[in-house]
Structure formats: structure tokens, C-alpha cells
Amino acid sequence: MAQADGEGAETFGQLLPPLGEMVRGWLAEDIPSFDYGGAVVGDKPETMTLYCKSPGVLAGCPFFDAVMEELDCKVTWNIAEGTHIDPHGDRVTVATVTGSARKLLMGERTGLNILARASGIASQARRLVQIKEKEGWQGVVAGTRKITPGFRLVEKHAMLVGGADAHRMDLSSMVMLKDNHIWSHGSITKAVASARRVCGFSMKIEVETSSVQEAREAIAAGADVVMLDNFEPKALHEVAAILKAETKHVLLEGSGGITEESIASYMSPHIDVLSTSSIHQGVSHVDFSLKVNRVAKY
């Protein structure tokens, strides 16, 4: 029997800016000129049912709402965002959408694409967070900035719905000095000093490092977060223990090559954050469909 488990996650829709301009861009991309199919169905009132047909965590609802609202359609949700849905080979009714036939079908594919991708990311985030809970690790599981251009808000929102940390939103959110910044500027110490002059006291600075020596230089230069990048689990644990024994105030982040299968081996009491793009890159999408409610003919 199909079922939806849980009461859903905290609502993150209040974080979002007005979505109208973004939605209009998506729709314009899909309808650059004539909507031939729309002319076939016209503007008669219709009711459609949104179904979930594969297991996953429901995410992307505010964006689906915004698409339909832009087209003067109304969505009534049966299941809250953040709820894990398992159709068990059947299908689960997620929502009902009403409006003109033409406009419902204008928004159908865009809305479904959003839900499929967002729910896939939220589902993967939920799996990684569940591993963290099973291991009893007290740190943070985070995504990365390796997101799809134009889909940043959807993907970052989905990470939060799944229980992961979204990490920095963009280049303006936190200073992250990676190897290329450091090589271009000359040294970690110089790069951190220059960054602090332009970002001020209110923004954190993170430095990517590949050795204990580089990490120590970053800490001495005033970095707030030190990323230990591309360390094997054993080496990561050893270096993190050394650094935490020397200073307690700096956050240590492990990153590079971390997957669902390997993340548990990176968890250490000396590591504060584990970031991985496997939360949002290459994830399986959740299958949704939106179908017109057919009236039986006798």
C-alpha cells in the first residue's frame, strides 16, 4: 500500500525571495513563441492531480506553487514538504491543482522538473544525515557550491529540506580562499590578510589546505574555518586531532571525494563539518506526474 511517512520537515519557504522573475524566466524558456498544445485544450476549467510514483523526500513545493501561481492556478497540498513518500509500487496523491487547462499544461513540465530534482536532492541529503545520526557524530553534513546555474535556490532549498547544511550560497556569502586564490596571491597569509581588508569583521574566512603545515598557516593568519581537502579518512582524523589540540576556536571542514558509501569513515570528533557534492550532483530524481482528472463517460 502506498504511504507517506512523517509530518514533514520545518518549512523553509519563508527564506525565499520573491520568485516571480525566476519563474517567468523558466516559463519563457519553455514557451519561447507559440504554445500549440495549449491552443488545443483552451481555457476550460480543469482539475489535475499530482502523484508521486517513486520513493523520496518531497521538496520544491514553494517553487511549484510559484509556477502555478504565475499561471493563475491554485495548488492544494495533501502532503507537507519534507515528508518521506513511499508509493510501494503504486502512486501517492500529493496535491490537487486547479486552473484553466491551457495554463495548467503550461506549468506542468516546469513544475514537475522542479519537484523531481529538488526531491532527489532532499532524499540524498536525508540519507547522509541519517548516516550521521546512526554514527552518533555531532558535526554538520553540508553540500557545496557545485550547483546547477539558474537552479541555485531550488537546490540549496532542497538540501535544507533534507536536513543537510546548504554551505555558502554564493561568492558573496563567505570568503573561501581555495588553492587558486592562494597560488595567484602568493601565500595563505597574504591572501587571508587581503580578504579581511575587503570583507571586514562580519564575514567568515575559510581557507582550503592540503597539509597540516598549510592548516597551521591559515589558523595563524586568522582563518575562521580551515578546509582539509582531499585527505584520506585516517590522515584526516590524525591532522584534525593535532589541530584541535593546538587550537579549539577554528572550525575544521573535511571535503573531497566523500560519498554516501564513505562518509561514515570521515566522521571524527575533531571534524566539525563534512561537505560533499554527492548530496546534489548525480542524484536520482523522484518520479512525479500531473494528470487531468478524467470524468467517466457512460
Helix (H/G/I), strand (E/B), else coil: 253: strand
Residue 275 neighbours by CB under 8 Å, 6+ apart: 142, 143, 144, 167, 227, 253, 254, 255, 258
- Residue 205 three-state SS: strand
Catalytic center residues: 146
Beta carbons within 8 Å of 252's beta carbon, 6+ residues apart: 225, 226, 228, 240, 243, 244, 270, 271, 272, 273
Do 56 and 120 touch, CB atoms closer than 8 A? yes
CA separation for the pair 224, 10 (Å, rounded): 29
Joined together, the cell numbers standing for residue 64 give 511549484
Of 205, 226, 214, 210, the C-alpha closest to 187 is: 214
Query: Rounded to the nearest 5°, which phi and psi values hold at 277?
Result: -80, -5
Q: How far apart are CA 294 and CA 262, in angstroms?
A: 48
